[in-house]
Amino acid sequence: MLTDLLKPTTSSPARRRVTVGEVVFGGPAVPVIAGPCAVEPGYVEHALAMRAAGASMLRGSVFKPRTRPDAFQGMGEEGLVLVEKARALTGRPVLVEPLSVEHVELLTGRVDAFMIGARSMQNTPLLRAAGRSGLPVVLKRGMAATYDEWLAAADYVLSEDNPNVILCERGIRTFETATRNTLDVSAVPVLRERTPLPVIVDPSHGTGIWSLVTPMALAAVAAGADGLLIEVHPSPEHALSDGPQQLRPATFADLMARLKPVAEAVGRAL
Ligand code: PEP
Ligand code: MN
């Protein structure tokens, strides 16, 4: 309730730590999950570059929820083989998005965490299946979802006895057309007052424009975000999805360098 939000808070809920492999969300460190929008050929080499630039974890989307049915839908199982290779070679955990209950079954045992995308936030059978898998779940905010609706979706996962939910703000639909979405940075402090769950931010989908990703990543960490999700492509102009918002590896390395003092200024580390 908004009225509850307006009450002065004496203390925020204790933070919950969610661990993916050896990566801890909700602790003193701010892990950065990086990788291309979609897994494409060359993913394994790219994953090594992500690790070298400081990524704690890899994005590995092989099923893409595209607006148009004639757009690239992801490499599917062929891409999953590349994700498994990258995971083994880099030692970094991988985050993969299932679009259906069948995908949850296919991916269980082969990935480290599930991402429930914005379009799926209210797909309750999918939320329950991801919850039952026991794997950590990164739950993105639906593009028109209120905080209450988002937290109710998180409850579907939690109610399957899975406490490992990470909330991810990825921008909401507003009247503004200059950016793809409007990144709601205030979600970070609001949710910190309302839930113990870690809150991470995706400035790539949150803005849709690569040059805005670094400033909004810095803002998110300054606001207390428990992690970041960043799209990075070796050659964004040739990307099969979301080219305009993907960083080049060198720009991502620069983001990581600029993030360090911001994290330290708010008592966190990278
Ligand atoms: C993604 O991160 O791959 C994605 C599809 O983002 P969203 O669900 O936030 O649109
Ligand atoms: Mn994308």
> Residue 118: CB within 6 Å of ligand 1?
yes
pTM listed for this prediction: 0.96
Look at residue 13 in the predicted model and tell me its pLDDT: 78
- Which of 197, 194, 213, 196 is CA-nearest to residue 205? 213
Look at residue 4 in the predicted model and tell me its pLDDT: 55
Q: Specify the residue with its C-alpha closest to ligand 1, atom 10.
A: 118
> How far apart, in whole angstroms, are the C-alpha atoms of residue 135 and residue 204?
24
Q: Which residues surround ligand 2, an ion (CB under 5 A)?
A: 37, 242
Statement: residue 2 has pLDDT above 70: no
Q: Could you report the per-residue pLDDT of 13-45, keeping only the tens digit for each?
A: 789 999 999 999 999 999 999 999 999 999 999
Q: Could you report the per-residue pLDDT of 107-127, keeping only the tens digit for each?
A: 999 999 999 999 999 999 999
CA 69 → CA 30, 66, 185, 239, 266, distances in Å?
Answer: 36, 7, 31, 17, 43
> How far apart, in whole angstroms, are the C-alpha atoms of residue 26 and residue 23?
10
Structure tokens at 26: 């909700």
Statement: residue 178 has pLDDT above 50: yes
Q: From the CA of 110, how far away is ligand 2's center (Å)?
A: 21
Statement: residue 70 has pLDDT above 80: yes
Q: Which atom of ligand 1 is nearest to the CA of 64?
A: 5
Look at residue 14 in the predicted model and tell me its pLDDT: 86
Statement: residue 176 has pLDDT above 70: yes
Statement: residue 7 has pLDDT above 70: no
Query: Are the C-beta atoms of 93 and 23 separated by less than 8 Å?
Result: yes
Look at residue 113 in the predicted model and tell me its pLDDT: 99
Look at residue 20 in the predicted model and tell me its pLDDT: 98
> Residue 173: CB within 6 Å of ligand 1?
no
> Residue 140: CB within 6 Å of ligand 1?
yes
Q: Ligand 1 pocket test: pick from 59, 68, 115 the residue with the most ligand atoms within 8 Å of its Cβ.
A: 115
What confidence category does residue 92 fall into, taking pLDDT thresholds of 50, 70 and 90? very high
What confidence category does residue 244 fall into, taking pLDDT thresholds of 50, 70 and 90? very high
> Residue 180: CB within 6 Å of ligand 1?
no
Strand partners of residue 167: 139, 199
Phi, psi of 247 (to 5 degrees): -85, 150
Statement: residue 10 has pLDDT above 70: no
Q: From the CA of 9, how far away is ligand 2's center (Å)?
A: 36
For the ranges 4-8, 146-150, 217-221, the lowest mean pLDDT is seen at 4-8
> How far apart, in whole angstroms, are the C-alpha atoms of residue 63 and residue 107?
11
Q: Specify the residue with its C-alpha closest to ligand 1, atom 3.
A: 37
